[in-house]
Amino acid sequence: MQYGIFSVSDVTRDPVSGYTPSEAERIKDVVTIAEKAEEVGLDVFAVGEHHNPPFFSSSPTTLLAHIAARTERLIVSTSTTLITTNDPVRLAEEYAMLQHLSGGRMDLMLGRGNTAPVYPWFGKDIREGLELALENYNLLHRLWREDVVDWEGKFRTPLQGFTSTPRPLDDVPPFVWHGSIRSPEIAEQAAYYGNGFFANNIFWPKGHFKRLIEFYRQRFEHYGHGTKQEAIVGLGGQAYIARNSQEAKQQFRPYFDNSPVYGGGPPMEEYMEATPLSVGSPQEIIDKTLEFRESFGDYQRQLFLMDHSGLPLKTVLNQLDLLGEEVVPVLRKETAARQAPDTPDAPTHAALVRAKYGDGPVREPRPNANRGDNVTGSSPYQDSDPDVVTEYPEL
């Protein structure tokens, strides 16, 4: 079981102090938060992708590569990579590069996002969002697994003899989660490819996500990837922790009430009752998080949102101390004791390499003309040895 945090990268006014940080401050602070996550023993740091104020994370691979360089074991990931408005060729290239730079300590979560105007900004039609998600991932999946790709679809120009570079590290593609808050089609897509399904259940009622996750598990088994118990599931969550419940609610209430997400909605206590939002003592956070397993079954990744709504950096770092020192160790112990014995571990690059090669040698792709030249798609001067390229004749 992996535990971590995710950031939506909002730049929000602190309702207590009245201070609004700059983008530069928030970017720097998020790097500090990720480093702190590793320091306190968390497994994953993830960030969303947004292209509009008040968010700053328009280039998650750049940010995550920097964080990977400043950490040693932390898995860097995305809490949304926009599969609809990004070109799958660029996604294949950028995330393969991140995979190399992080030494395999990465994965990504694909989603459609929740900002409607992003579609026309990138020349897309929101009414085709679902079709875009399905077609674009089909191409991305192939680009990471086939050295030379011929492809034609509806939403981008065809590819002839195309090789995405760099090739995935160890010739093993990054692990992909498909994130959804509403669409059974995305759960079906995750199941079809044998990928992970991340139910970002931070807003909607529990019953809706129970149906989505059970549907994904059934379809995962249907497609022959394993039993329902072996399906790979992740969940979202939100937490604010203090030494006791009264302190936690008193401290977090102004942030909740003035949040651009929560503000104007139900009172905090009602919201806590209806969603995974946990505001309380370490034991209360533990108890509520353990209830997720009772509702959704055994799962592989739990991410908490903890740096949003204007919370100052010092407060977030204190929260991470409590999460890492008092909450997650108990969750690890209790989860290990309760989960079914055939529950798989969360995928890692090392585990995927072992699954592909066993004890055999790892393939390290080397560019050569036999892999396609991305101009003509042909290789007229390729020697019979695939690792040897002859010189071009004089023109």
Cβ partners under 8 Å of residue 191, min gap 6? 197, 216, 217, 218, 219, 220, 222, 223, 225, 231
Indicate whether 384 belongs to any domain: no
**374 occurs within a structural domain:** no
* Residue pair 257/297 in contact by the 8 Å Cβ criterion: no
pLDDT digits (tens, 9 = 90+) for 177-226: 999 877 899 999 999 999 999 998 776 678 888 999 999 999 999 999 99
156: in domain: yes
Report the number of distinct structural domains present in the chain: 1
- 108-159 per-position pLDDT tens digit: 999 887 677 888 888 888 888 889 999 999 999 999 999 999 999 999 999 9
Residue 310 lies in a domain: yes
Q: What is the C-alpha to C-alpha distance for residues 316 and 284, in angstroms, rounded to an integer? A: 18
% of the chain residues with pLDDT over 90: 76
**pLDDT at residue 373 tops 60:** no
> Which residues pair with residue 4 across a beta bridge?
44, 303
pLDDT digits (tens, 9 = 90+) for 52-96: 889 999 999 999 999 999 999 999 999 999 999 899 999 999 999
User: Which range marks the domain in which residue 218 is found?
Assistant: 2-368
pLDDT tens for each residue of 256-268: 999 877 777 889 9
Residue at 315 is within a domain: yes
Place of tokens 């908490």: 304
Distance CA 348, CA 336 (A): 18
pTM equals 0.91
- How do 149-151 and 159-162 pair as beta strands? antiparallel
Residue 57 lies in a domain: yes
Band (392; pLDDT cuts 50, 70, 90): very low
- Tell me, yes or no, whether 377 lies in a domain: no
Q: Is the pLDDT of residue 12 over 70?
A: yes
Domain membership flag for residue 248? yes
Residue 101: its pLDDT value, please? 98
- Pair 161, 372: CB distance under 8 Å: yes
Tell me which amino acid residue 22 is.
S
Q: Annotate 221-236 with three-state secondary structure.
A: HHCCCCCHHHCCEEEC
Task: Determine the 3-state secondary structure of 50 from DSSP.
Answer: coil
Which of 308, 298, 333 lies closest to 238, judged by CA?
Answer: 308
Amino acid of residue 383: D
Q: What is the CATH number of the domain that holds 30?
A: 3.20.20.30
